[in-house]
Amino acid sequence: GWTNPLIVDWFESYAEILFRNYGNRVKTWITINEPIVICDYNYNIGTCAPGIQEQEYAPYICNKNVLMAHAKAYRLYQREYREKYNGEHKILFLSIGRYSHPIFSQEGGWPKSFEKLMLRVSLKQGYTESRLPSFTDQEKEHGRLLRLKLLHKSDHQASVTRRTGIL
């Protein structure tokens, strides 16, 4: 499953087969559709593939591997197929910060606020370090891309209450 670090290379091999066989017919590639569903929902609930319910580490390891797999597939397409087929390459996600920051920020990696939150939660739960896997400098550089496409499904509105002043 997506918690196995080898999946990053396996996904690149899978993408290679698809690009080679369908690149002349596909103009828009979506590598990963809604990683929050793949990682958070599937591992938190455990009812979908891989059928494992593991809420403490799996969602975050999955998040990192999904991002790295997307980056590898994107880089492969840019290097080997973009000039030949001139297609677009996208990742679709609903949860903005966790997935967009590693890809589009100058520094790469997780948002600092997310790292702090995960460290605080992990320590409170009795862990000695954050459950969030870190990115190496090489992974941060490799994972950064240039384009953003959003999948927008619904709006939620929030407002400050008069009584408490809290959002």
Q: How confident is the model at residue 113 (pLDDT cuts 50, 70, 90)?
A: confident
Kind plus residue range of the DSSP H or E element containing 6:
none
What is the per-residue pLDDT across 29-54, written as a single tens digit (0 to 9) for each?
Answer: 888 888 888 888 888 888 777 888 88
Q: Is the peptide bond before 102 cis (omega within 30 degrees of 0)?
A: no
Listed range (4-8, 56-60, 118-122, 156-160) with the worst mean pLDDT = 156-160
Residue 22 has pLDDT above 80, yes or no: yes
Distance (Å, rounded) from C-alpha 167 to C-alpha 160? 4
The residue among 61 and 165 whose pLDDT is bigger is: 61
SS3 content of the chain, % helix, strand, coil (to 5): 50, 5, 45
What is the per-residue pLDDT across 80-104, written as a single tens digit (0 to 9) for each?
Answer: 998 998 888 766 654 566 766 666 6
Averaged confidence pLDDT in the chain = 80
- Domain residue ranges in the chain: 7-143
Q: Is the distance from CB of 119 to CB of 130 less than 8 angstroms?
A: yes
Residue 21 has pLDDT above 90, yes or no: yes
Residue 146 has pLDDT above 80, yes or no: no
